[in-house]
Amino acid sequence: MNKTILLFSVMTLVAGGLFTPMMHAQDDDIRKVDNKSESALFAGGCFWCIESDFEKLNGVISVVSGYTGGSKETADYKTVSYNDTGHFEAVRVDYNPEAISYRELVEYFWRHIDPTDPNGQFCDKGSSYKSAIFYSSDSEKEAIDLSLNELKNSKPFSEPIVTTIAAAKPFYLAEDYHQDYYKKNPIRYRFYRSGCGRDARVEELWGKK
């Protein structure tokens, strides 16, 4: 059994074996946010975990899980998990820029992933689990570059940073059962997160929070 199929099987068991018919989220289907909010796209491995991490931040309005990098036709969990579709498991973070800046979101993201892993994140390996930051404007790109350059000079680990920095592409919502998974299935979620070694590796890289 190859690693992609094995990892997909593990995630399926944790999710309770749930599958829903493929539903493609068009741009105008994605939840709108008010005029005072902005959005940011991040990929940090399992979107359940990144969604949970960002929703703890003051100034963040909402976080939704989805897919970005590939086509609308391939934007569903089963296809992304079994195939190299170009998609990342990602989250869209809607936030109030008067309460938290884009740069602060980027800084927070770094410290909740393993930016040294070229093959995925923690126990999840494969192209869809790689880490990435997607920029939608020149100002976002500048904020990422400044943060990355500072991080390279101050990082508490010796390995190189390999997180992808790329222009944003269309974002497609993941299936309903993935949204707020950590709230809907807290026991299964904690079991998965602990078993995957996410928090242990983050502490190893960045130290205690």
Which residues are part of the catalytic machinery?
A: 46
Residue type, 148: L
Q: Look at residues 172, 143, 149 and name the one whose alpha carbon lies nearest to residue 76.
A: 172
Q: Count Cα neighbours of 166 within 13 Å in the Cβ-side half-sphere.
A: 18
Distance CA 65, CA 177 (A): 10
**Alpha carbon separation from 10 to 16, 20, 58, 160 (Å, rounded):** 10, 18, 32, 29
Distance CA 16, CA 39 (A): 31
